[in-house]
Structure 1
Amino acid sequence: MSPSIATRHRISDLNDAFRRAGPGASGQWVMTRGVADLGPDFTLLAMRAVREFDGFTGDNDPYGEHDFGSFNVGGQHLFWKIDYYDPTMTYGSEDPAVSALTCRVLTIMLASEY
């Protein structure tokens, strides 16, 4: 069964707050080796772009959860994606709309690594 519209809005609000707060908030941010290899200046620019991302459309956000983005930094095409785990990071979250049941993990990757 797909989540209700209210649940999707709650997930979207939680994802936006997590993403805008940046690393060290209520979850983890990680990046692939390809992103890290481009150096600390590049990674800071990529992280800033993720925090400021607002290009959600029906094409890249069909469920309205704001859990994925595609952007360009320094001539590189990147993706970011939020995944939902249980608080122990052992299993998937029972309910991503409930903060106490969810640890969010945002991954930044080169599009070529997808």
Structure 2
Amino acid sequence: MLGVRDFDAFTPDNDPYDEHDFGSFKAAGERMLWKIDYYDRERRFGSPDPADPAVTTRVLTIMLSSEY
């Protein structure tokens, strides 16, 4: 989704940990939210080390802001 790829409005207020894992964009007149979560390889628990792709599966969720 281009809205996720092109999002670059990260600030200390909306990205306090400088992770760049949450944002928003408009599509078809709707405000959309996106979030990247970091799970273990089996996607059952949080990753023990999100920076290590050998133990991490990243999951992108995109939703209407009204669903949040």
Instruction: Tell me the TM-score normalised to structure 2 length.
Output: 0.91
Root mean square deviation of aligned Cα: 0.9
- Alignment-mate amino acid for residue 66 of structure 2: S
Q: Which residue matches 1:111? A: 65
| Structure 1: runs of 5 or more not aligned | 1-46
Alignment partner, residue 94 of structure 1: 48
Q: Larger % of helix: which? A: 1
- Corresponding residue for 1:36? none
> Once the two structures are aligned, what percentage of the paired residues are identical?
65
Structure with the larger RCO, 1 or 2 (CA within 8 Å, 6+ apart): 1
TM-score of the pair, normalised by structure 1? 0.57
Over alpha carbons, which structure has the higher Rg? 1
1:73-97 Cα shifts (integer Å, max 9, x gaps): 2210110000110011121101101
| Separation in 2, partners of 1:57, 1:74 | 25
| Pair 1:67 & 2:17 matched | no
List structure 1 runs of 4+ shifted beyond 2 angstroms.
none
Question: CA-to-partner distance for each residue in 1:49-105, whole Å, 9 max, x for gaps?
Answer: 111211111121111000100221221011000011001112110110111111000
Could you say which structure has the higher strand fraction? 2
Q: Which residue of structure 2 lines up, in the alignment, with residue 49 of structure 1?
A: 3
What is the DSSP-based 3-state SS (H/G/I as helix, E as strand, rest coil) of the residue aligned with 1:104? strand
CA distance in 2, matches of 1:53, 1:63: 17
Distance 1:72 1:59 in 2: 20
How many residue pairs get matched? 68
**Unaligned residue ranges in structure 2 (runs of 5+):** none
